[in-house]
Structure 1
Amino acid sequence: MRKIINDADHVVSEMMEGFVGAYSRYFRKHPEVNAILSRQKRTDKVALVIGGGSGHEPMFGGFVGKGLADAAACGNIFASPDPNTIYEAAKAVDNGKGVLFVYGCYAGDNLNFDMGEEFLRDDGIRTAHVRVQDDVASAPKERMEDRRGIAGDVFVVKIAGAACDAGLSLEEVTRAAEKARDHTRTIGVATAPAQLPGVDKPIFELGEDEIEYGMGLHGERGVLRTLWQPADVLAAKMYAQIMEDTDLQAGDEICVLVNGLGSTTITELAIVYRKIKELLDKDGIRVYDADLNNYCTSQEMGGFSVTFFQLDEELKGYYDSPCYCPYYAKGELAGSSCRQAEEQETVKKAENREAEGEDKRDGDASDGEAGAAVEPDIRQKGVLNELSAQDARRMLLYITDKIIEKKPYLTEIDSAIGDGDHGIGMAGGMKKAKEKLEQMAGEENAYAVFEAAGKAMLMSMGGASGVIFGSLYLAGAKGMEPKPVITAKDLARMEQKSLLAIQERGKAEVGDKTMVDALAPAVDAMKASCNEGLLPMLRAAEAAALQGVEDTKKYVAKFGRAKSLMERAVGYQDAGATSVWLIFQGMREYVEG
């Protein structure tokens, strides 16, 4: 598939530059991170920050504006923003009344937004969050908290934005947003796959006469693959599933959104709505407002979703409150922001300075990617029995190149049961780690090398992988007494500490089909063999991690985007576990020489 892009690694930054440039009357880009901020600085109110992966435009950045969000933290394509982006976006719009976060319920978003909130609370800023969980296909009603967020984000953001602008307290704004979430139900269907920029294959495959019922917004497999069906048949089936999940009765009022996933036309959406409205009329349910549009997309995925938002008097009042952004407007449109000529000139100069700084950083990153990272002429000959700070640095550089090279392999594995972004995220995080490691040629503390590499990954990758794989290096090394040289026992203790931190953060256990399935047995092998020396220990850890990868093929996923597949995920290996194995393989290869 041909994409109208320049470089796959710069898609998000270039998209944001064009997006903000086109709508500079309303938005500005944060000078340091990929976040979109409202031009209209509103004081004495709770700040609303939304966010998630890019690739779903106009969600999330397109929903910043009057009566909507104050800022949007934007991650890489289909990957959550990293904690630093979330933190900086919220800091930029905080008014002293607290910050409410609204985002979809995905493992990566949950982890990264939780950590962003921790950073803000450390600064004395009050926070709360509401996770949208409207996808009725992704989990049964008794497990609402496990449901994915899809097009229902539109209604929750609308209500939360109105409640914030009404001057409510953080507690009251949170209550209103939770009420909106609990009154929202969505079901979707995919008719054609999407393809990530820079990836050779679509994120899933469908036959010409097939559709995927219950497909997730990132291309996660649905609950049923079936033959092509006419619009009325699909609409009736989707209507029945939503109605089964709600308490709607004759006389109730709802808003309806028929949302296109990227390549579906308004013509098709209107045909679907025609049938939905017929069924609602038959059941005596009144439509207060309807919308046919592409708000929550998935690149060029074919298909659509149907969302019902049940109203009461309170929610109706918030829904009718004026809001405006270039992609979404309700209520009275007067009062949109307009800058004076002098302010425009000042802002333009500031943006030019920001752009020059970004161009310079982009150039530095490109330079850092060129050439081999390992310095064989400096490395000690033969097998290493311990790791000096510089041995550790060069070993981690070797691993960064290894993971970057394996990007297509990891993408292919993740595409089978996920959304295909794991390879992209890992490669991006490793590039940032590489840049940092190349600046540490004089470092004498071995633990500081691991900590710096982990922090670079954590603050740049986004997605669940950013928090988890950043912690693989960072958590074990953080707070350790500085040492110029670490032994096999030291490395084993460090990885044990990292494992505990990762499990505390992500709650995963062996058997949940995550990276823990490879990391936990690897750590056990390290503890059992650390007295034998560095190389025997790493050989044992590599073998144990590989067996852990094989074991993931037997498991039903308990976390991540494969969770909704249930038994359909059996037979496929976990991409995160595969990355763990490759990291231990890289350690062993470098130490062995």
Structure 2
Amino acid sequence: MKKIINNADDTVMEGLEGFVACYSKYYEQHPEVKGVISKNRRKDKVALVVGGGSGHEPMFAGFVGKGLADAAACGNIFASPDPNTVYETANAVNEGKGVLFVYGNYAGDNLNFDMAEELLNDDGIPTAHVRVWDDVASAPADRIEDRRGIAGDVTVIKVAGAACDAGLDLQEVTRIVEKARDNTKSIGIAVSPGQIPGLDKPTFELGEDEMEYGMGIHGEPGIQRTKMEPADVLTEELYRNLMQDAKLEKGDQVCVVINGLGATTNLELAIVYRKVKQLLDKDGIYVYDSDMNNFCTSQGMGGFSITFMKLDDELKTYYDMPCYSPYYAKGELTGAVENTSADTPVPAESETDKPQESAGSQAEAETAKCCGKRREGVLETLTAEDAREMLMYIADKVIAKKPYLTEIDSAIGDGDHGIGMAGGMQKAKGKLENLDAQGNVYAVFETAGKAMLMSMGGASGVIFGSLYLAGAKGADAKTELTSADLAAMERKSLEAIKERGKAEVGDKTMVDALEPAVLAMEEYKDRPLLEMLKAAEEAARQGVENTKDYVAKFGRAKSLMERAIGHQDAGATSVWLIFQGMREFVEGEV
């Protein structure tokens, strides 16, 4: 795994220097140790110091700020800060009211923070600590003090900062933070390892198709290693385990944190939160507030965790107090409370909105269903009903080929073509299923094209939407299309696509398959429909083959230059599949 570093031994110090330099209006660095100190901290109160090993950014330094921690003591990668670092950092923010330490429950942290507390106590500075042990997978409830601290640090530090800023004494602050800690439960899953800078091996080994429930943020063993599953399955399993431990009941109020471990995108985290919210709504648990981001990471580990903090009126008081750091904020401008109550029903997914399986067997079943009204024999013309059934057949064909198109696009593109085409075809099919075209064949193509255009996004949405739409839009209504009509419609679509995209044959785009297909249609326009479509399909196939010899002039592959040679274009491949689908439907091979 590549790391953007200099000398591995200098990684933490250089990272802290860069962090403080970037946010110098908020922070200063301790001159002697790896400590990050808030410039704008409130005075004459209990000081809050957090800390632990580096490598979990933005935890812990990123949670220093107004209404949060006053300072963070930072260790080396995945290693506790030494007692002197903790001692000196705490001394720098001590206001004479005592110091509260909040950190994850790990042996190294416990030993080093305890030693620092002894040193501070020897100097007459009162201290207390709250060890966060929110990871329900790391030990059973009867051994809660053996549990690890993971992303539950987020909500505990939030409450701790507010309680300190409220001016409470050390004993009262500690009581409230312990209450927040005891009401906070988390569980996570790992799908890929991270890697510590300077080491040539990942932090643990996990097969390409494996995941591990309950794995710790340093790669500590979890509770079960299984094959990879869809997001909803993962989320439901984590939710089940979390609820068994959290003992939440209908009417309870919680804060939810969906935390990424470094390599997990916010898009994926949003999918997880979506499912968590559905499950909480179903169980009558009210989401008081929620956050979703990479807060407590693990050097590029893939995976996520779910955290619940159960609230009562006292904890709400401190949770709602404003706070700010560059990585975490609450208060007047950000809002703290979600307005949706547990009693508000969540709309169920409609059948047409649900994603369809892309496997061939599913597509074949859907094809059989959608083509039940097809006229017998080889079609000589296309009626509106023929066109509707044909486009639904093509939609299922392309959906079934999503993995194939993704594989092709991944070789020289960004790998999203199959997903986009399948999604657009699914939307088109949804519009077509209940369409009453009133006998106008062009209206069928226009409906499908608009659905793709408005749903796919990216260049493919405009281009492939135009393949159906541009040639049909504005055409006089017809009850059936002949070979010549279809050829003329596709010529208009080709010209519109070339005008919008500016691509020509040889540029390694869908035009490389579409233009030869249209030329073949025009050559055979006075012959039977099937004969014309066979010629168009073969011309499109040859066009796909030709793209292997071209250097890309557009799209992601453009930057590859000669390295794109030898790979076929995904867009051209989709054009070929569409013409193949037309031919199969007209011939009756459905």
Task: Bin the TM-score by the shorter chain.
Answer: 0.5 to 0.7
Determine the C-alpha separation between the residues in 2 that align with 1:30 and 1:50: 14
- Could you report, residue by residue, the CA deviation over 1:316-346 in whole angstroms, capped at 9, with x for unpaired residues? 1111000000000001259xxxxxxxxxxxx
- Residue 120 and residue 333 in structure 1: after superposition, are their counterparts in 2 closer, same or farther (change >3 A)? farther
Give the number of the structure with larger relative contact order, counting CA–CA contacts within 8 Å between residues 6 or more apart.
Answer: 1
Partner of 2:399: none
Task: Report the alpha carbon displacement of residue 44 of structure 1 after superposing the two structures with TM.
Answer: 1.3
1:197 lines up with 2:197 in the alignment: yes
Partner of 1:216: 216
- Could you report, residue by residue, the CA deviation over 1:451-482 in whole angstroms, capped at 9, with x for unpaired residues? xxxxxxxxxxxxxxxxxxxxxxxxxxxxxxxx
Partner of 2:130: 130
Task: Report the alpha carbon displacement of residue 41 of structure 1 after superposing the two structures with TM.
Answer: 4.0
Determine the C-alpha separation between the residues in 1 that align with 2:140 and 2:157: 24
Partner of 1:274: 274
Determine the C-alpha separation between the residues in 1 that align with 2:180 and 2:119: 27
Secondary structure of the residue aligned to 1:201 is coil
**Structure 2: runs of 5 or more not aligned:** 335-590
Partner of 1:172: 172
The runs of at least 4 aligned residues of structure 1 exceeding 4 Å deviation read none
Secondary structure of the residue aligned to 2:270 is helix
1:86 lines up with 2:64 in the alignment: no
Secondary structure of the residue aligned to 1:156 is helix
Partner of 1:292: 292
Secondary structure of the residue aligned to 2:28 is strand
Partner of 1:331: 331
Task: Report the alpha carbon displacement of residue 160 of structure 1 after superposing the two structures with TM.
Answer: 0.5
1:253 lines up with 2:253 in the alignment: yes
Partner of 1:60: 60
Partner of 1:306: 306
Determine the C-alpha separation between the residues in 2 that align with 1:264 and 1:88: 35
| Percent of pairs with identical residues | 71
Partner of 1:118: 118
Alignment of 1:445-464 (within 5 A): none
- Residue 34 and residue 333 in structure 1: after superposition, are their counterparts in 2 closer, same or farther (change >3 A)? farther
Determine the C-alpha separation between the residues in 2 that align with 1:333 and 1:31: 34
Would the aligned equivalents of 2:259 and 2:305 in 1 still touch at CA under 8 Å?
A: yes
Partner of 1:146: 146
Task: Report the alpha carbon displacement of residue 246 of structure 1 after superposing the two structures with TM.
Answer: 1.7
Task: Report the alpha carbon displacement of residue 129 of structure 1 after superposing the two structures with TM.
Answer: 0.1
Determine the C-alpha separation between the residues in 1 that align with 2:231 and 2:333: 34
Would the aligned equivalents of 2:41 and 2:66 in 1 still touch at CA under 8 Å?
A: no
1:321 lines up with 2:321 in the alignment: yes
Alignment of 1:283-432 (within 5 A): 283-332=283-332
1:163 lines up with 2:154 in the alignment: no
Partner of 1:377: none
Would the aligned equivalents of 1:323 and 1:332 in 2 still touch at CA under 8 Å?
A: no
Determine the C-alpha separation between the residues in 1 that align with 2:42 and 2:85: 21
CA RMSD after TM alignment = 0.9
Would the aligned equivalents of 1:102 and 1:130 in 2 still touch at CA under 8 Å?
A: yes
Partner of 1:474: none
Would the aligned equivalents of 2:150 and 2:216 in 1 still touch at CA under 8 Å?
A: yes
Instruction: Supply the AA of the counterpart residue of 1:168.
Output: L
Partner of 2:465: none
Instruction: Supply the AA of the counterpart residue of 1:46.
Output: V
1:24 lines up with 2:24 in the alignment: yes
Partner of 2:36: 36
Would the aligned equivalents of 2:41 and 2:65 in 1 still touch at CA under 8 Å?
A: no
Secondary structure of the residue aligned to 1:139 is coil
- Residue 41 and residue 310 in structure 1: after superposition, are their counterparts in 2 closer, same or farther (change >3 A)? closer
Would the aligned equivalents of 1:121 and 1:127 in 2 still touch at CA under 8 Å?
A: yes
- Could you report, residue by residue, the CA deviation over 1:358-381 in whole angstroms, capped at 9, with x for unpaired residues? xxxxxxxxxxxxxxxxxxxxxxxx
Secondary structure of the residue aligned to 1:317 is helix
Secondary structure of the residue aligned to 1:307 is strand
Secondary structure of the residue aligned to 1:271 is helix
Task: Report the alpha carbon displacement of residue 114 of structure 1 after superposing the two structures with TM.
Answer: 0.2
Partner of 2:184: 184
Instruction: Supply the AA of the counterpart residue of 1:70.
Output: D
Secondary structure of the residue aligned to 2:254 is strand
Instruction: Supply the AA of the counterpart residue of 2:210.
Output: E
Secondary structure of the residue aligned to 2:316 is helix
TM-score under structure 2 normalisation?
0.56
Task: Report the alpha carbon displacement of residue 283 of structure 1 after superposing the two structures with TM.
Answer: 0.5
Determine the C-alpha separation between the residues in 2 that align with 1:89 and 1:159: 21
Determine the C-alpha separation between the residues in 1 that align with 2:166 and 2:160: 10
Partner of 2:264: 264
Task: Report the alpha carbon displacement of residue 212 of structure 1 after superposing the two structures with TM.
Answer: 1.1
Task: Report the alpha carbon displacement of residue 78 of structure 1 after superposing the two structures with TM.
Answer: 0.4
Instruction: Supply the AA of the counterpart residue of 2:248.
Output: L
Would the aligned equivalents of 2:210 and 2:225 in 1 still touch at CA under 8 Å?
A: yes
Would the aligned equivalents of 1:46 and 1:99 in 2 still touch at CA under 8 Å?
A: yes
Secondary structure of the residue aligned to 1:211 is strand
Instruction: Supply the AA of the counterpart residue of 1:216.
Output: G
Would the aligned equivalents of 1:137 and 1:223 in 2 still touch at CA under 8 Å?
A: yes
Partner of 1:386: none
- Could you report, residue by residue, the CA deviation over 1:420-478 in whole angstroms, capped at 9, with x for unpaired residues? xxxxxxxxxxxxxxxxxxxxxxxxxxxxxxxxxxxxxxxxxxxxxxxxxxxxxxxxxxx
* Bigger Rg, structure 1 or 2: 2
**Structure 1: runs of 5 or more not aligned:** 335-593
Would the aligned equivalents of 1:324 and 1:333 in 2 still touch at CA under 8 Å?
A: no
Determine the C-alpha separation between the residues in 1 that align with 2:3 and 2:85: 27
Task: Report the alpha carbon displacement of residue 124 of structure 1 after superposing the two structures with TM.
Answer: 0.2
Would the aligned equivalents of 1:184 and 1:310 in 2 still touch at CA under 8 Å?
A: yes
Alignment of 1:516-527 (within 5 A): none
Determine the C-alpha separation between the residues in 1 that align with 2:35 and 2:9: 17
Instruction: Supply the AA of the counterpart residue of 2:186.
Output: T
- Could you report, residue by residue, the CA deviation over 1:461-514 in whole angstroms, capped at 9, with x for unpaired residues? xxxxxxxxxxxxxxxxxxxxxxxxxxxxxxxxxxxxxxxxxxxxxxxxxxxxxx
Secondary structure of the residue aligned to 1:233 is helix
